[in-house]
Structure 1
Amino acid sequence: MIRVLIVDDHEVVRQGLRFVLDQEDGIEVVGECANGERALAVVPALRPAVMLLDMVMPGLDGLEVLRRLGADRPAVIVLTSFHEDERIVEAIRLGALSYLPKTTAVDQVVEAVRAAAHGGSVLEPGIAGMLVRRMRQGERRDPLDVLTPREREVLTALARGRSNGEIARTLSLGKETVKTHVSSILAKLGVTDRTQAAIVGLQQGLVPLDEALLDTDG
């Protein structure tokens, strides 16, 4: 069962999302929050697998919630009415797996929830296109800029050939949390497997070549 927490300051939006998700097999809405402060307070108790997060709210906005979520964070899907490039890039850098407009079709929201539960990303075509353009224009000189500090640690371990279990023990994380980080790293770096991600880490100097072991089976 995929446990979902909805965080949005508009009650109508929360009710609509709950109605849609409650119709889906294998998905359970475990809570709703009208602000970021409340969301951070209930996450440890509710233990959602996925958080649907509004970007603009009174008090703590979506970006600040992303910054303050702990290591055992839920997978985050940002739902917003705003399309500011810098906010989108920052949300993804802070760990959001998907970034969808509030006008997104309900079936795509459901798809994003199911994907996020397994560490996958769903990006609206316009947003995906913007990210590709940003990369091609060289606005990010360092391809690792989009990674969170924790994701850099996981990528460093990947470049050393560590399995998910070894990474979990070394970084004191749950194995499922490591899987989520790995999936996020693959999506952000635009690679398809752990070995390709490890090679990027090596190219960026995270690990000396003589310490690299690229037999990364997971």
Structure 2
Amino acid sequence: MIRVVVAEDQWAVRSGLVMILDAAPDIDVVAEAADGEEAVAAARRHLPDVVLMDVRMPRKDGIAAARELAGTGVDVLILTTFDLDEYVFGALRAGAVGFLLKDIEADELVEAVRVVARGEGMIAPAVTRRLIAEFAGGAAPSGGECAGPRVPGVSPVAVGELTPREHEVLACVGEGLSNQQIARRLCITETTTKTHVSRILAKLGLRSRVQAAIAAQELGITRK
């Protein structure tokens, strides 16, 4: 079972999220929280696999809560109505592994929790495009906790070392696809996909899928 803590200050929204997740046969909502402080306390008490965290909450917001949970082994999946860049950057810098908008469909939310629980990053494609646009335009917030994550330069030589399949996988990562989605599109297994992603990160000198997605867009890497 995937153990989840749901942190959302609006009772009606939180109840809806809990109902959706609890309906999944492999997900167990072990605790609820109405603010960031409660979320951190619940995560430390129950040690869930995933904390589904709202951004704007009283006492302590989701970004500050995610920062406190960094390094604890608990993965934070940010869920918000706001796709403002400052929240995306803040969440990523705070250690969150996923960022979704609240207009996501119920089945997509369940799948996102599963993806994060498997150790993969998950960023909504719309957010990924916005994030990439900010990097490309040089308009990312500067300084403080909201500054965008640094992306090392990727040389054409390094890209040239990618195999044709790795090139295809990188293009899919650039679209914000999960390993499962990439596997389906390329007709390969998820295990093979994970291996390709790991090798891509190593060859390009990148630390995360987010950096790989940004690099893919900046370099114009698409499926041939």
TM-score, normalising length from structure 1? 0.65
1:38 equivalent to 2:43? Answer: no
Shift, 1:4, TM fit: 0.3
Q: What amino acid does structure 1 have at the position aligned with 2:65?
A: V
Higher deviation after alignment, 52-61 or 86-95 = 86-95
CA distance in 2, matches of 1:146, 1:6: 31
Q: In structure 1, what is the equivalent of residue 210 of structure 2?
A: none
Q: What amino acid does structure 2 have at the position aligned with 1:192?
A: V
Shift, 1:139, TM fit: 5.4
Per-residue deviation, residues 32-79 of structure 1 (Å, max 9, x unmatched) = 010111111121220100010000011100111112114224111111
1:114 equivalent to 2:119? Answer: no
* Aligned CA distance change for structure 1 residues 6 and 144 (closer, same or farther; 3 Å): closer
Q: In structure 2, what is the equivalent of residue 97 of structure 1?
A: 97
1:200 to 200, 205, 211: 205
CA distance in 2, matches of 1:12, 1:99: 21
Shift, 1:12, TM fit: 0.8
Q: In structure 2, what is the equivalent of residue 186 of structure 1?
A: none
Contact 1:94–1:146, Cα closer than 8 Å, also in 2: no
Moved over 6 A (4+): none
Task: After TM superposition, list the pairs within 5 Å mapping 1:155-170 onto structure 2.
Answer: none
Task: After TM superposition, list the pairs within 5 Å mapping 1:68-107 onto structure 2.
Answer: 68-107=68-107
Structure 2 residue runs of 5 or longer lacking an equivalent are 141-147, 153-195, 208-224
CA distance in 1, matches of 2:38, 2:151: 27
Contact 1:93–1:145, Cα closer than 8 Å, also in 2: no
Q: In structure 2, what is the equivalent of residue 61 of structure 1?
A: 61
Say which SS state the counterpart of residue 100 (structure 2) adopts: strand
Higher deviation after alignment, 59-68 or 37-46 = 37-46
Shift, 1:5, TM fit: 0.2
Say which SS state the counterpart of residue 6 (structure 1) adopts: strand
Residue identity over aligned pairs, in percent, reads: 36
When the two chains are superposed, the root-mean-square deviation of aligned CA atoms in Å is 2.6
Q: What amino acid does structure 2 have at the position aligned with 1:75?
A: D
Q: In structure 1, what is the equivalent of residue 135 of structure 2?
A: 135
CA distance in 2, matches of 1:91, 1:198: 26
Contact 1:49–1:74, Cα closer than 8 Å, also in 2: yes
Say which SS state the counterpart of residue 9 (structure 2) adopts: coil
Structure 1 residue runs of 5 or longer lacking an equivalent are 148-190, 203-218
CA distance in 1, matches of 2:20, 2:87: 27
Contact 2:70–2:94, Cα closer than 8 Å, also in 1: no
* Aligned CA distance change for structure 1 residues 199 and 123 (closer, same or farther; 3 Å): closer
